[in-house]
Amino acid sequence: MIKGVIFDIDNTLTDFMKMKLAAVDAAVEGMMDAGLPGKKAELVKEVMDVYWKEGIEDQKIFDKILKAKLGRIDYKILASGILAYRRSKNGTMTLYPRVNHALMELMKLGIKRTVISDAPKMEVWLRIVSLGLHHYFDEIITSEDFGVKKPDPKPYRKALEVLGTKPAETLMVGDWPDRDIKGAKGVGIRTAWAKYGDTFGTTESGADFVLNDIYDVVGVIRKENGYAAN
């Protein structure tokens, strides 16, 4: 019996990497227009390399790029990059198809819901509210709450507390096997891999279920809970 679901958000509910790549592309163009030297493709690669090294949610990414390229922060260039990034981010942050449909069905089934994310708490809430998902989630858990990131067990234990469910009654849905799936399994939570959001070319996730579409989670829960097929 599954009574609660924990969702990752980036690349699980939202097409995060599509947004990130578009926003970085726009930011580089903005900084070049303000005077940053270099070729666009090379600059985009440098930004993404720093993101992968320092963390995809690095809030000082453009400061670091400017220090590396110019030896200092040029605030005109920095402002241009930040504004271009934000404009693009707001225009390209989208949900995967059928996310709202899936969450509505879970509500109808009486399934409790929460989110675990490694992103800063305010950034997560901004995404949730801007995409109209705030009616589905009352409380979320982020790395800021404990100072640790997935797969550390602390966020998962807190999620169980928030949901009021036991590990065997809970399903973790996420795209990143080494974080989402591994962390949930470490505390006995059942797991569903969001294959549609995979960015690593994963062949074996280790999850209990594989989702080719976010709405597949509804079918998993209906089957596990003994409901008639829909």
3-class secondary structure for 140-154? EEEHHHCCCCCCCHH
Please check whether residue 164 is in contact with residue 139, taking contact to mean a CB–CB distance below 8 angstroms: no
At which of 65, 92, 119 does a domain end? 92
Count structural domains, the chain. Answer: 2
Is 229 among the domain residues?
Answer: no
Q: What is the CATH number of the domain that holds 84?
A: 1.10.150.520
At 28, the pLDDT band (50, 70, 90 cuts) reads: very high
Q: What is the pLDDT of residues 77-91, one digit of tens each?
A: 999 999 999 999 988
The verdict on 53 and 27 lying in the same domain is: yes
Is 163 among the domain residues?
Answer: yes
Average pLDDT of 204-219? Answer: 97
pLDDT at 57 exceeding the cut of 80:
no
Could you tell me the residue range of the domain that residue 81 belongs to?
A: 17-92
Distance CA 9, CA 116 (A): 7
Distance CA 197, CA 194 (A): 6
At 155, the pLDDT band (50, 70, 90 cuts) reads: very high
